[in-house]
Chain A
Amino acid sequence: MSMSAYYQTRAAHHGVVTSDWLAQSQEAATRAVVTGGQEIVDGGKSGRAFSVIDEFNNWRKQPDLAEAVAAIRALAAVIRNSEAKTMMELEIELKKASDSLKSWDTTSISLTAGCDLFMRYVTRTSALEYEDFNSARSRLIERAEKFGEISYKARKIIAMLSQDFIFDGCTILVHGFSRVVMEVLKMAAQNKKLFRVLCTEGRPDRSGLRLANELAKLDVPVKLLIDSAVAYTMDEVDMVFVGADGVVESGGIINMMGTYQIALVAHSMNKPVYVAAESYKFARLYPLDQKDMGPALRPIDFGVPIPSKVEVETSARDYTPPQYLTLLFTDLGVLTPSVVSDELIQLYL
């Protein structure tokens, strides 16, 4: 069965190592060594395109690095290795590399969004002041490397913006392990706010366990729930905090499976749902229902063997429509879901 590479990597970050992931990673490592040698010999276009994907995978494996940053770093490597002498040629090469990256993993939204954002930036920069190709090129490389800092700063800004919304004595429900939400809660704990966190288990990744671990280290009172216990405990919850894999044009979000369910329950009980997402996750997608996105499958281990004629729903993510979200905390500020399409229009049109 096909596995979504994006969710595989996230599972790897969360330390839930499955045996088939190990096998795949070993295979990839041996492949990289082989093609590394080939690249030196060939130096042809196909070798370079392949190395983009490898480069990307190398960056992606670091647990603290965001997907989009890995993508932009990989594209920066393309610029560095390119032999183009004009801006036009460089743009065409970048477009090819970006397309191959996107087609290699169609399920990762922040990868697509990050590539698109960088391509727009390149097209705009080339139209601006620099007449000297080399200075333009070095500037592009420099901005791409700096993007890692931008992404890190983005998380800090988001954490600062959300501080006002966490008051003393509040109970926060968190779903999935988002590094941005982790930053928010960490800063609140450092500011000596008194709050309690309810953490869903997050099957099948069990990312909630990891989050509970991290929060316990910060001395924040944590309570773990199984995913089905969300409605049962929604009464005592003051707000729901989630991250996002991607923010779509309608203002809705695509996030780990279970987010839609939680948002529906919260909405019916009048609890606010807050999303913490960096702005480079805004993507030009408009899903009309749950099946409208490309499938991202992730195998689920039930612990007991399942007969082969029983189907299993293995999708790893769902889409939460904007009417169930209250506010989005991004590095562009606190936004209502309707602002997202405005921002995207300004960038792309």
Chain B
Amino acid sequence: MPDTQALVNDFLNKLKKRKIEGSQATARQTAELLRSVISQQRVPYTNQAGALIDAVKAIGEQLIAANPVELAVGNIVRRVLHIIREEDLSLTTAAIGGLNLSAVSDDENDDDRDGDSTLSAAAVAAAARSTLRPPSLQTLLEDTPVSAAVPQTSSSGGDSEGKTADKSSRSRKLKHDVIEAVNELIQDIVTCHEQIAEQAVEHIHQNEVILTLGSSRTVLEFLFAAKEKKRSFRVFVAEGAPRYQGHLLAKELVARGLQTTLITDSAVFAMISRVNMVIVGAHAVMANGGVIAPVGMNLVALAAQKHAVPFVVLAGSHKLCPLYPHNPEVLLNELRSPSELLDFGEFSDCMDFGSGSGSPLLHVVNPAFDYVPPKLVSLFITDAGGHNPSYMYRLIADYYSADDLVVQRRATAGN
């Protein structure tokens, strides 16, 4: 346990000081940290899943508070919680299935009782499965307390059958299954670029002109994949002030043999009429299909809409956030240092707090992110395929549980 605490503190420090760049790196490190937490966590015999969920929630709360703007942290925490619930559920249904088989092989005079218990156990499992999914019209009239009966049925059934050895192997199996699933998640995060790039050849056609802003590794791989498949196209790169990462992207594209044109952000409106498609990356995708992207993206999206140019956003599934944005320009934004815009040496008299009276007259605002509303986005390309913004809720229902939207450790007032 002291091991993991040190790891957690180290990671928290890095998050607070913004030492980790990029959502993919953040997501991968979060997943690895949670994997070590789970493997170190001791679980009691009953309600192992509850103990794991509590442990992950406790750490998750701290991680999210350390950097609330980096949504990938919260996304991964919720994915892991969903994994724990799913694995627990599949183990429970398997165990009940096992009980059914053993009951059938018992004496005939117990048949009636066992018949009832098997029927109700199957119904209980079905109800438990439905509680894992988000609430729907189908389950509106169902009874919710049935889910509480699930662990009791399995544990009482286990006692009466005398299968204590079975239960200890079940507890080990839960941790093992969860860690396997988290490993798969890490694999997905690391290989998301390849899976998105595979779809490149369907979207980029011969002699097209593509516009992008700033530098995104996903976009880079996407364009390379299309080039591999012998499509010839041109790329306009908007430089993405004030960090000018578009310069780096242009250099890499040229190194691979793609015809590139570098333009300033202000020239986007002037050049957009010559462009066939806009392809950009994202920092995060919200549940309504809105996009948190590097600053300047809203400008490009508006220009694209005005000239009826498709606006395509590439995003790995770790960027998909189940929360709805309210006031994202302020709450989901970060202000960076003014030194990226102005040189302190030249402007030291305007920005100096010491000279004159009170605060300086020159303020510098350097936001890191922009919010693009869903109606400006034509298509999302994720590692699960291409979808339009109104479809995002489906992916969220697949990846996240409704109980985890607010990651808070509930005060344990008796289970």
Q: Is A347 an interface residue (CB 8 A)?
A: yes
Q: Is A3 an interface residue (CB 8 A)?
A: no
A117 touches B141 (CB 8 A): yes
A129-B120, A338-B391 as given contacts; A117 in contact with B326, CB under 8 Å: no
Q: Place the interface of chain A in its size category.
A: 20 to 34
Q: Is B119 an interface residue (CB 8 A)?
A: yes
Task: Please report the C-alpha to C-alpha distance between residue A167 and residue B331 in the assembled complex, in whole angstroms.
Answer: 12
User: Closest residue to A326 on the B side, CB-wise?
Assistant: B288
Which of A190-198, A209-217, A289-297, A327-335 interfaces with chain B? A327-335
Q: Is A232 an interface residue (CB 8 A)?
A: no
A121-B141, A129-B123, A327-B288 as given contacts; A334 in contact with B324, CB under 8 Å: yes
Task: Please report the C-alpha to C-alpha distance between residue A128 and residue B126 in the assembled complex, in whole angstroms.
Answer: 10
Task: Please report the C-alpha to C-alpha distance between residue A337 and residue B327 in the assembled complex, in whole angstroms.
Answer: 20
What is the CB-to-nearest-CB distance from A84 to chain B, in angstroms, rounded to a whole number?
20
**By DSSP majority rule, is chain A's interface helix, strand, loop, or mixed?**
helix
CB-CB under 8 A from B288, the residues of chain A are 327, 336
User: Closest residue to A282 on the B side, CB-wise?
Assistant: B137
**By DSSP majority rule, is chain B's interface helix, strand, loop, or mixed?**
loop
Question: A105-146: contact bitstring with B at CB < 8 Å (1 yes, 0 no)?
Answer: 000000000000110110010001101000000000001001
Count of interface residues, chain B, beta-carbon cutoff 8 Å: 24
Q: Is B140 an interface residue (CB 8 A)?
A: yes
A332 touches B141 (CB 8 A): no
A346 touches B326 (CB 8 A): no
What is the CB-to-nearest-CB distance from A91 to chain B, in angstroms, rounded to a whole number?
15
Question: B311-330: contact bitstring with A at CB < 8 Å (1 yes, 0 no)?
Answer: 00000000000001011000
User: Closest residue to B331 on the A side, CB-wise?
Assistant: A167
CB-CB under 8 A from A333, the residues of chain B are 134-135, 402
User: Closest residue to A165 on the B side, CB-wise?
Assistant: B326
Q: Is B394 an interface residue (CB 8 A)?
A: yes
CB-CB under 8 A from A259, the residues of chain B are none
CB-CB under 8 A from B142, the residues of chain A are 143
B393 touches A336 (CB 8 A): yes
Task: Please report the C-alpha to C-alpha distance between residue A129 and residue B83 in the assembled complex, in whole angstroms.
Answer: 29
Q: Is A27 an interface residue (CB 8 A)?
A: no
B134 touches A343 (CB 8 A): no
What is the CB-to-nearest-CB distance from A282 to chain B, in angstroms, rounded to a whole number?
6
CB-CB under 8 A from A319, the residues of chain B are none
What is the CB-to-nearest-CB distance from B90 to chain A, in angstroms, rounded to a whole number?
21
CB-CB under 8 A from A327, the residues of chain B are 288, 324
Question: A87-103: contact bitstring with B at CB < 8 Å (1 yes, 0 no)?
Answer: 00000000000000000
What is the CB-to-nearest-CB distance from B270 to chain A, in angstroms, rounded to a whole number?
25
- Per the 8 Å Cβ criterion, residues 275-294 of B in contact with A are 287-289
- Per the 8 Å Cβ criterion, residues 58-106 of B in contact with A are none
* Interface residues, chain A, with chain B CB atoms under 8 Å away: 117-118, 120-121, 124, 128-129, 131, 143, 146-147, 150, 164-165, 167, 279-280, 282, 327, 331-339, 342-344, 346-347
6 pairs, A vs B, C-beta closer than 8 Å: A131-B119, A150-B141, A336-B289, A342-B394, A346-B138, A347-B136
A117-B137, A332-B135 are known; give 20 further A-B pairs, CB within 8 A: A121-B140, A121-B141, A129-B122, A129-B123, A143-B142, A146-B143, A150-B141, A164-B324, A167-B326, A279-B137, A280-B140, A332-B136, A333-B134, A333-B135, A336-B289, A338-B390, A338-B391, A339-B393, A343-B136, A343-B137
* Interface residues, chain B, with chain A CB atoms under 8 Å away: 119-120, 122-123, 134-138, 140-143, 287-289, 324, 326-327, 390-391, 393-394, 402
